[in-house]
Amino acid sequence: MERNPRSARPNPTRPSTARRAARLALMNAGLFVGALLLVWLGSVVLHRPTGTEPRVGAPAGMVRGAAPGPLASGDYRVLLSDANWIPQSQVPADAALSFRARPDALVDYLVLGVTVANTGPGPLALTYLGTGQDVRLLLTSSDPEPFARDPLSPGEAAQVAGRPGLANGPLAAGERRSGVLVYAVERTRRAFALWAVPAYAPGQTPDQGPQTPAVELRFRP
């Protein structure tokens, strides 16, 4: 029986098995990259850190300047020596941190090296955490909404940064105190500044409260 010569010829229009496998691999790789891009775009578009509510008002007569400073207001002299990021992934999962220190997976830690000096003849208020708070040491930014956040406790700051946190409490006459302030914040924020502002009584507005300390140190991490 004579064989059909046509059946023995290769079909030029039919891709080889290797070519089909390569095409399928490229298609899968393209779909994977596209999915990653969609996830990234979604995180950028959908996650927009909001401003602080209620907004923190700047006191009248605030002294403004750029880091490292120092800036002086009344008997306060504030120096911002360094600012750097520590990723949340670098902090041990079993570290004794409060929920405020780890509100979600999107925040990292902005670590500020700060020195506050009392240039006056008597004690100076520097209780920035807990009961009896008389000063707020706020991290502020625009994103573009106004935003302000209080620091972690000195103990938490030491765990995150591996350096002593800024001690919480009054400064003696002539005392100079250094330490780190640590803030849990999204890296997508910008136009950072450290504010040292009075803690106002309930119902007070900035222009009704004390006028010192009132310092704004602008910086870039």
Spell out the domain ranges in the chain: 17-46, 63-218
pLDDT over 90 (residue 5): no
pLDDT over 90 (residue 93): no
Which positions ≥6 away from 180 have C-beta within 8 Å? Answer: 111, 112, 113, 114, 157, 158, 161, 163, 164, 165, 166
CB crowding 39-57: b at 16 or more within 10 Å, else e: eeeeeeeeeeeeeeeeebe
Q: How far apart are CA 70 and CA 119, in angstroms?
A: 12
Q: How far apart are CA 207 and CA 60, in angstroms?
A: 6
pLDDT score recorded for residue 35: 67
Residue 85 DSSP class = E
- 187 or 53: which carries more pLDDT confidence? 187
pLDDT score recorded for residue 118: 95
| Residue indicated by tokens 């780890």 | 102
- 128 or 30: which carries more pLDDT confidence? 128
Q: Which tokens sit at 28?
A: 């899968």
pLDDT over 80 (residue 42): no
Lowest mean per-residue pLDDT among 9-23, 67-81, 144-158, 163-177: 9-23
CATH, range 63-218: 2.60.40.1240
Residue 157 DSSP class = H
Averaged pLDDT for residues 157-167: 95
pLDDT over 90 (residue 206): no
Q: Listing from the earlier edge strand, what are the strands of the sheet with 135-142?
A: 63-66, 215-218, 190-198, 135-142, 146-149
